[in-house]
Amino acid sequence: MYTGITQGTFEVLRADRSPGLLRYEVGLSAALAEGLKPGASVAIDGVCQTVVELGVNGEVTFEAIQETLDLTTLSELRPGQRVSVERSARVGDEVGGHDVAGHVIGTGEILEVVQEGHVYDLRVGVQP
């Protein structure tokens, strides 16, 4: 479960592709990487991913399978790109956003953006 509040954007250090799999590494800050273990859930650009490996300097490796690549924007990841990162919520932590549960099931297309001052209204189209 997540709160929907990203903890920052971090650089994709590596993105290795093989048939049906993207193995990629994100460089996290020491504070954000603290306490992470293989098997932990982390949201990368809003997509729940599982930690596969941890480096000594905050590098975290994830693997996205073909279904995830087909249904999300993770298929577009490239080294040097920045991604939003959110650690999963823990019991007892302050919830600064709102409870977010579920999994990404597809991508949408921004059809219209209407700006009024500092407010942006988006119209998003999705496949049925």
**pLDDT tens sequence across 68-110:** 999 899 999 999 999 999 987 666 565 655 555 566 677 788 9
pLDDT tens figures, 22-64: 999 999 999 889 999 999 999 999 899 999 999 989 999 999 9
* 87 membership: H or E segment, kind and range: strand 82-87
Q: What is the pTM of this model?
A: 0.74
Enter the tokens of residue 69: 């690549």
* End-to-end Cα distance, the chain: 25
Confidence at 116, pLDDT banded by 50, 70, 90:
confident
